[in-house]
Structure 1
Amino acid sequence: MYINFWYPMARSDEAKADEPFRTEVMGLKFVVFRDKEGQAHVLSDTCVHRGGSLSKGWVKDGCVICPYHGWRFNGDGKCATIPSIGYDGKPPARAKVDSYPVQEKYGIVFAFLGDLPEQERPPLFEIEEYDQEGWRANKLLVFDVDYHYERSIENGLDPAHNEFVHPTHGFSGQKPNYQVRDFDVEDLSHGCWFSVVMDSSGYKDDTMSKVRKSDGQTTAGSGTHGPNIMMTLIDITESSSLHQYVYEAPIDDNRTKIYFINMRNFLLDPEMDDRINERNMLVAHQDIDLLTYLNPVRTPSSNTKEILMPSDRCVLRYREWLKLWENKGWRIDMNELKAKQGDVAFAIPSPQRRLSGNWVLDPVPLMPFAHEDRKAAE
């Protein structure tokens, strides 16, 4: 898992001005709330006084209040009030928690979990056709799965699984001439992309059969942006396309929260939304039923521990991008983190740590990297 990227932290309706919301990402707890102006904020959840959970407190006058001793923190993470020294007392400069840059789009509150200055941060992936005429976004789908987020991303980069995992996408390997057509992998600014033509069966259900009833060819492409964001563009016909965007929040090694946005340029009647979502979740559960039981839970540390095929070349490129970010010093040492939690309170370092010192919570442990590797990565 990697710092210095944008992560979905909550649905917009979960961020409130009168009640804090607790979320967990990369093995750490965060609190999400709104100030009096309606701006969403994301802070580390641990009070630096005596370890209280800020998300178990309440929100008042734009501040989140710790339920243990009433310490009040504003949106930038600074402690505004310590009741025990008097409401007019001045909190010490060290009374602060990490506050993370926030963007709110597509019904999601995103936070940049890292310490890079603004000009160096990888951007949040933008959905260009969102709110454009001729496209319709389905209701945001959010669901938890019991597998590692990298397994989820790699599944979306694998064109060979569709034939066998998704009956509506192919012919279950029954055609004697079946094989995955050759394709190229290209690099994007913060990830990779491929596109391939696939033979697909005609749709049998009442909804999608309106688009195509007969067998034919589908062009599908998938790509990544950072370690946790994936896009899939599917051309069912020359004029009917699905664009699907997945923003993933790794909860821990075994759990992932998926924020799924489906765009379509056909069947634009709002009454079709539920039917499209039902079909999307049917396909999602076909993946879930398989990915939940992969062994090992995490992707292997060496590609020699798997027999990889030409159809896996985008998976391989994704792993190379992960290695690049590890060599920048951005990968969390999850083994050390888990070993020390319970004795040590950690936080992902925020940009404020580059501007001031004297922080209470330890920064998350990061994987070691060779100096020459980091120089090459930069």
Structure 2
Amino acid sequence: MTLEIQTPEAAQSTSTLPQLEQEQEFNWRHCWYPVAFVQDLPKNRPYSFCLYDEPFVFFTNQEGKLTCLTDRCPHRAAKLSDGQIIDGKIECLYHGWQFGSEGECLHIPQLPADAKIPVNSCVQSFTVSEHQGIVWVWPGEPQAANEEYIPTLAALDKPGFVHTDFMLDLPYDQTYFVENVMDPAHVSVSHHGTRGGGNRKNAKPLDMEVLESSKALIRGRWRQTEKPDDVWKHIDLFAPNLVLNTAEFKDRGWSFGLALYSIPLGKGRCRLLARGYRNFFTWTAKLKPRWLEHWNTNKILEQDLPIIVGQQAQIERLGESLKDLYLPLKTSDVFVIEYRKWLDKFGQSLPFYQGYSTSSHTGDKDGCNNQSALSDRFSRHTQICSSCNRAYQTTNRLKQVSVGVAIALFSLAIVTDSFEMQIAAVSASLGAVALAVIAQIVKTKFERSYKRH
């Protein structure tokens, strides 16, 4: 499924989604879900994740192919992701049972040599695909999986485009994330003064049009009401997990896109895979390392974080429909309401959802109001981002070495009888202390979330 950048004049979809439209009801298992960027997956150990609270595990088999299994050993229900990979097989760390890429049990150490492996000792396997640098999983029947329906960004295959990737786990439901990124009106206020964010002066009425709404997608465009000659910006939802923001500036030949993939990890948890791409100022992409660019991206997402967590907690505490709670405006909330109504129509098959008039939510209503999760950038991003994790480990080692050097030099200054040596040792020790302080400041950037106050 190829997604083309929309021009301001375009009012119809340039891509087709026959798979979703052919089914009479929306089936969440008959969809591809983005799990992680290929560059962020570990090469030599299992990788665990959840989809609607169901546990899965990735590992690489002997042929180098990525495999997905249910993350549960059939022996005593231990997590396979806590195990290890041996010769292309995943081994449960509890009793050493080993499984192949199809989920078949290949070895049970405690079984007598002449005994057959039980037929019910296998683990369910799932279809995996690597596409444009993203790993996708199909949670339904393997025979129904069709890689043609994985969203493809046509711009990434064109010359002259660059892109940046970012991944973040969020402590709220996926539907609240989709609502947030289909709301252009909040950017001017919530992200005021942030690079790549907005400006409060631009918080004004918007012209918003829904161009198409179906089971497969919602397509819309918007611009400021007082600027009728402005370029239309497009927001398209490709159900159930891709929101694509695009804009074209024809007079300059510029094209911009922001693909926001999301996966519902579970109740009160989702993951964002963000991919921004453009064909202008491409030289700037080489100036910053990926981990440094992520500092600003984290800040933008964390500006919304406490707002959305609080929003979901309030809604679940009140237990009323959004139709009764929301006071939507036609000049700011059109896409948000269209999406929530889409959930009313097609969300009944989802394990949990929040539509406009209907919902299906279970669990602790205060479960999302977790203050520790709000401040923990390390768990939400650094641990799952290969670039930031490497930079964090390097910074941590630099801090430890600097502290050790500072102590050694200061000790030398104490024991030496040479005044010149004392001065040199103390000066060098202070330099090492300064380097350790800088390393600690940088290290904190990987650990703690941005706070407004």
TM-score after normalising by structure 1: 0.73
Q: 1:118 offset after TM fit, Å?
A: 1.9
- Give the 3-state SS of the residue equivalent to 2:273 in structure 1: strand
Check if 1:325 corresponds to 2:346. yes
Q: 1:70 offset after TM fit, Å?
A: 1.5
Which stretch shifts more, 162-171 or 129-138?
162-171
Higher relative contact order (CA 8 A, sep 6+): 1
Contact 2:208 2:220 in 1 (8 A): no
C-alpha separation between the residues in 2 aligned to 1:241 and 1:280? 20
C-alpha separation between the residues in 2 aligned to 1:267 and 1:68? 52
C-alpha separation between the residues in 2 aligned to 1:174 and 1:12? 37
CA deviation digits over 1:156-181, x for unaligned, max 9?
11232223223366652578xx3112
Q: 1:297 offset after TM fit, Å?
A: 6.3
C-alpha spacing 1:174/1:69, structure 2 compared with 1 (3 Å): closer
The RMSD of aligned alpha carbons is: 3.4
Which stretch shifts more, 145-154 or 230-239?
230-239
Which residue of 1 is the match for residue 428 of structure 2?
A: none
Matches within 5 A, 1:103-182: 103-115=129-141, 117-118=143-144, 123-138=149-164, 140-167=165-192, 171-173=199-201, 178-182=204-208
Q: 1:4 offset after TM fit, Å?
A: 3.1
Which residue of 1 is the match for residue 85 of structure 2?
A: 59
Check if 1:271 corresponds to 2:286. yes
C-alpha separation between the residues in 2 aligned to 1:325 and 1:160? 26
C-alpha spacing 1:277/1:17, structure 2 compared with 1 (3 Å): closer
Q: 1:90 offset after TM fit, Å?
A: 3.0
C-alpha separation between the residues in 2 aligned to 1:302 and 1:290? 16
Q: What is the number of equivalent residue pairs in this alignment? A: 320
Check if 1:335 corresponds to 2:354. no
CA deviation digits over 1:124-180, x for unaligned, max 9?
211111132021112x211222222211111111232223223366652578xx311
Which residue of 2 is the match for residue 233 of structure 1?
A: 246
C-alpha separation between the residues in 1 aligned to 2:202 and 2:286? 36
C-alpha separation between the residues in 2 aligned to 1:30 and 1:65? 15
**Highest CA radius of gyration, 1 or 2?**
2
Q: 1:89 offset after TM fit, Å?
A: 4.1
Counterpart residue type for residue 187 of structure 1: S
Counterpart residue type for residue 155 of structure 1: N
Check if 1:248 corresponds to 2:262. yes
Contact 1:10 1:32 in 2 (8 A): no
C-alpha separation between the residues in 1 aligned to 2:220 and 2:153? 18
Which residue of 2 is the match for residue 287 of structure 1?
A: 304
Contact 2:265 2:271 in 1 (8 A): yes
Contact 1:15 1:33 in 2 (8 A): no
- Structure 1: segments with no counterpart, 5+ residues: 202-215, 339-378
Give the one of 298, 314, 334 matched to 1:313.
334
TM-score after normalising by structure 2: 0.62
Identity of aligned residues (%): 23
